[in-house]
Chains A and B, each alone.
Chain A
Amino acid sequence: MRALKWIVTTMVVLFILAPLVVVAVVSINANRYMDFPPQGFSFHWYAQLWNDLGWREAIVTSLIVATLSAALAVAIATPMAYVLRAYDVRLAPVLYSLGILPFMLPPVISALGALVFWNSMGHSGRIENIIISHAIFFSTLPLITVSLAMESMDRSLPEAAQTLGANPRTTFRTITLPLLVPSMITGYAAAFVLSLNEYIIAFMVSRFSVVTLPIKIVNDLRYGFTPTIAAVAVVFILIAATTFSLFALFGNLLKFLGADPAILERER
């Protein structure tokens, strides 16, 4: 059994790492053809991300879309998660399913729906389309995180506030909302990252008018390979790894992922 544990773990680690390593190697290759072994080393392609206008614009566009759509997603999800969990709403399961549905369906369906919708509004190819469609699609994530936070919140806290003289609105403002902020941030971060990486909805909704980072990558790959793409990938990986490592060091990554509190004590 011990052997199996090592085999499985090693296989998985290699599996996860393999593409990451490949991409890293390719990104520092001096010439623009992928070959192995690499002919020389260069960080030229990383510089390209800044120097090339096309790449810079794509990055900025993606950041704008991600920032705004994630914010809108949280704005849509939070009131819903709060009301459905704090009050006895008759159609609560139906409404909650409605909130979950966008994300659960294959993205191409939402993408096509958005496409025909914006076309019929006569509003195609605009950046707002992506922002709104992403917000709807990813609103499921903050809906889930905030709902979970509502469920695990001590019910007596808002009750205590009421016994101290706070009416429902004040209670929400001073007690419930501050306690929901961490889950709202988590939902925002998840929606942000997913929006940054999302291709199919952005593509179908804006086609050639708005170029986000994934769209640019796919377009460039269609025309031939440039290692700048690999450089983008490495930057993404580094940012993600750094963020989570910091979280693990200073925050509580295990608890965040739902680990049993007892596991945190275990130091076998």
Chain B
Amino acid sequence: MQARGGLRLEGLVKRFGDVLAVDGVHLELPPGQLISFLGPSGCGKTTMLRMIAGLERPTEGRVYLDGEDVTDRPPHLRDIGMVFQTLALFPHLSVAGNVAYGMRIRGAPKRDIDARVNELLDLVDLHGLGDRRILQLSGGQRQRVATARALALEPRLFLLDEPLSALDANLREQLQVELRLLQQKLGITTIMVTHDQREAMTMSDLVVVMNQGRVEQVGEPLEVYRRPETPFVASFIGRTNILRGQVSDGVVRIAGRPFEVDRPLEPGPVAISVRPEDAHLQTTSTPETNALPGRVVFVRDLGELFECYVDCGLDEHVVVAGSPRERVNVVQGQPVSVSFPREACVVVEG
């Protein structure tokens, strides 16, 4: 079966009055994958999703689905299935009524509808609950009904707008796995909006990181984590230390000390990202390169996790993290040095 749901977004811009919600987005998204739009509130990710769905008209730009220009097509003609943030389950219809809605308004015969509804309810683990009213369901059950309803007509695109945000933590993690497995089983092109980077990392084939209406980086989750391309991406995905300094005469200097990185740089300001778990504490002398002296400000020993906050004279404290095996015995106020291995230094600016 040919994979459906390839999306191409060209120059998408959306203005609400004076507010620029989406500022020139170009994206080419492959079919059959689960793609996350990740970013903080107000970054434009939901607006992007709604433009793909046809619920908002782009101020500028075009949307192509499987090569067809669908920009001017209203939502009910776009062959999509969407799960809304509030789930938007119809309160006056039962579970089966909700799931069957799309088929019913197309005039499908009752027998076919019933069969398909049962098939879908089985798919999302809600077997036998067809006659329940929406108000009688738990949060997790409602989420599954919304999913079943969206998938009922086998749409080309499966769109999810922060679908798990209303659920408590344990349920969220469980449903993250369930949704991902379901998507893989059906092979359906899925676009999910979330502000939770762990959710994006857990579920996605591809992550689109957005900030202030722009796309900052697109890539596989681990790639985006290991090789962030901007300070924003580095600090939004996981935690990181951003070390700022200057490049002059071909040498990188942070707080006056030399750093080696894996690519040549132009003179001027530079920012380097190093994840806390890649940084090392040293109680003996400070190495020549890729290290900063400092003083321990705070130790956080959580048993399964060990963290140390060090004041190295930069704008923010440097955080060094590690597993219990890597624990170093230090006390507050103790002079230490932090080393940043060359292979862990990612240049994010400059």
Interface residues of A (CB under 8 A from B): 154, 156-157, 159-167, 170, 174-175, 178-179
Contacts and interface: CB of A to CB of B under 8 A. Distances in A.
Contact of A159 (B55, B81, B106): B55
Contacts of B89: 160
B84 A165 contact: no
B76 A167 contact: yes
Given A156-B84, A156-B85, A162 B75 contact: yes
Nearest to A159: B55
Contact of A166 (B53, B76, B80, B84): B76
Contacts of A157: 88, 90
Interface in B58-117: 74-78, 80-82, 84-92, 101-102, 105-106
A163 B90 contact: no
A162 B55 contact: yes
Nearest to A173: B105
Given A160-B88, A165-B102, 14 more contacts: A156-B85, A156-B87, A157-B88, A157-B90, A159-B88, A162-B55, A162-B76, A163-B80, A164-B105, A164-B149, A164-B152, A165-B153, A166-B101, A174-B101
Contacts of A178: 92
A94 B55 CA distance: 27
Contacts of A166: 76, 101-102, 105
A178 B159 CA distance: 26
A156 B153 contact: no
Contacts of B92: 178-179
B91 A163 contact: no
Contacts of A165: 76-77, 102, 105-106, 153
B150 interface: yes
Given A178-B92, A179-B92, A163 B105 contact: no
Contact of B88 (A154, A167, A170): A154
Interface range, B side = 20 to 34
B133 to A, nearest CB: 14
A170 B75 CA distance: 13
Nearest to B101: A164
Contacts of B152: 164
Given A161-B101, A162-B74, A170-B105, A156 B91 contact: no
Interface string B42-58: 00000000000111000
B86 A156 contact: yes
Nearest to A178: B92
Nearest to A163: B82
Nearest to A181: B92
A34 B53 CA distance: 73
Contact of A164 (B54, B86, B91, B102): B102
Contacts of A179: 91-92
Contacts of B106: 165
B74 A163 contact: no
Most buried by B among A159, A161, A164, A165: A164
Contacts of B87: 156
- The interface residues of chain B, by DSSP majority, are classed as loop
A51 to B, nearest CB: 46
A160 B82 contact: yes
B76 A159 contact: no
Contacts of B150: 163-164
Contacts of B75: 159, 162-163
A141 B86 CA distance: 30
Nearest to A158: B88
Contact of A156 (B78, B88, B105): B88
A179 B87 CA distance: 16
- List the 6 closest A-B pairs by CB distance, nearest first: A156-B88, A160-B88, A164-B102, A156-B84, A163-B82, A162-B75
Contacts of A159: 55, 75, 82, 84, 88
A11 to B, nearest CB: 41
A165 B155 CA distance: 10
A247 B74 CA distance: 43
Interface in B330-348: none
A162 B106 CA distance: 12
A200 to B, nearest CB: 40
Contacts of A161: 90, 101
Nearest to A160: B88
Contacts of A164: 76, 81, 101-102, 105, 149-150, 152-153
A178 B81 CA distance: 23
Contact of B90 (A162, A167, A175): A175
Given A170-B105, A178-B92, A179-B92, A154 B76 contact: no
A167 B90 CA distance: 16
A159 B74 CA distance: 11
30 contacts: A154-B86, A154-B88, A156-B86, A159-B82, A159-B88, A160-B84, A160-B88, A160-B89, A161-B101, A162-B55, A162-B75, A162-B76, A163-B53, A163-B55, A163-B75, A163-B76, A163-B81, A163-B82, A163-B159, A164-B81, A164-B102, A164-B152, A164-B153, A165-B76, A165-B77, A165-B153, A166-B101, A166-B105, A167-B76, A178-B92
Contacts of B102: 164-166
B81 to A, nearest CB: 7
A178 B80 CA distance: 25
